[in-house]
Amino acid sequence: MTGRAALALGASLALWSAAATAAPITALVPDATDVRQSTLVGRSGQVYEPDAAGSRWVRRAPGGVSIEVTAATLLDGELVAFGARTPLFRRRGPQWLVEQVGQRGRVLVGAGPHFSIAIGRQLFLRKQGRFVRIGAAPADVVALWAGDERSVVFATDQAIFRRRGAAFVQVRSLAGVLGFSGAAPHALTATAAIEVRTGAKLTLPGVAVRAASSAKAPAAIVRLPTGRLALARDLTRPGAPIELPVDVEPAFVATDLQDRAVLAADGAVQVLDGSTWRPATLVDELPAARPGPPPARSP
C-alpha cells in the first residue's frame, strides 16, 4: 500500500469511527413507569430507542435537525423536538419536519403530565391535536408546569402565577425559580422547594442547581456541602441524596415511580437503579446510506 493510499484509508476509518460514535444526548422523553424505557434524543435530533431489557438504547434511523435540541416530547404519538427558539420539529417516520405553532420566539417546554410550552410570553397547551394559546405572561417565563388544562402554573423572575378561569393570578412573590418538579408542582430555588398550592417549604440537602423531571415527589440535582453534585430523588422525606458519577451539571435528569433515574452529563448517559449508577450503552445500527432529502431546516 502506498503512503497516499494509507493516508486515504486512515482518513476514511477516522470518518467512519466518528460517524459510529453515539451522539451527545441532550433530551429525553420520560417513561414515568420505567425511565429506562424512555426515548433519548441527541443534540442534532438523533433518536435512540430503548431495548426491551432496558440495558441499551439503539439508533436505527438517520436524520437530524438544524437546531441544537434542548427538549423533546411525544405529541399525538409522534416525537417533537425543541431548541432554544422556534420552529419546532416533528418526526414522521424516519424524517424530521418543521412544525409551526403560529408564534415565533424563545421556547420553554413545561414540566408536568400535560404538555405545555411558552414561546416568549405566550403560553400554549395541546388540545385536540392543536396548539391552543391560553394567555400571556406579564414577564418572561422562566419555568412552566401543567397538570391538565385548568391546572397551569408558571414563574417569572419575581413571582409565581397560576391559571384561574381564563386569567392568570399571582400566587406569591418568589425570585430565583430554577424549575418545577413533582406530581404536585413544587417551585425549586437554590435554597428551597416550595409547594405551589400551600406554600409549604421543603429544606434541601444542599444547594439546588437543577430541577429533575418527576412524576411522583419533587426531585432535584443539588450540590452537597462536600462540593459534590447529587440526586435528591424525594425532597419531601429525609434521606441521603445519591452522588452523581460525574461532577458536571446534567443536561437533563428524570426519575420514575420506582425511584430509578436517567441523566445525561459530560456527553454520556447514566442509569440509576437502586443506589448504583451505571453507564448506558448507546448503539448506532444505521441502514446503509442512500441518496435522499437533506435534514429538515428552519426557515
- pLDDT tens for each residue of 208-231: 999 999 999 999 999 999 999 999
Residue 277's CB: how many other CB atoms inside 10 A? 18
Which residue, 111, 286, 93, is CA-closest to 186?
111
User: Based on C-alpha coordinates, what's the Rg of the chain?
Assistant: 21
Q: For residue 251, which phi and psi values (nearest 5 degrees)?
A: -70, -35
Find all residues with CB under 8 Å of 207, minimum gap 6, and list them: 190, 191, 222, 223
C-alpha separations of 220 from 10, 118, 243 in Å: 45, 22, 12
CA dihedral angle for residue 168, residue 173, residue 175, residue 180, rounded to 10 degrees: -50
C-alpha separations of 9 from 3, 50, 88, 214 in Å: 10, 34, 39, 48
Planar angle of CA 63, 66, 70, nearest 5 degrees: 95
Look up the pTM and report it. Answer: 0.87
10-residue mean pLDDT series, the chain (299 residues): 38 34 85 95 95 85 89 95 96 92 94 96 94 96 96 98 94 97 97 96 96 96 96 92 94 95 91 93 84 63
pLDDT value at residue 94: 86
Task: Give the Cα separation of 21 and 253 in Å (integer).
Answer: 22
- By CB atoms closer than 10 A (0-12, 13-18, 19+), residue 198 is exposed
pLDDT value at residue 115: 96
Instruction: Kindly tell me the sign of the dihedral angle through the C-alpha atoms of 143, 115, 204, 159.
Output: positive
Task: Give the Cα separation of 181 and 183 in Å (integer).
Answer: 7
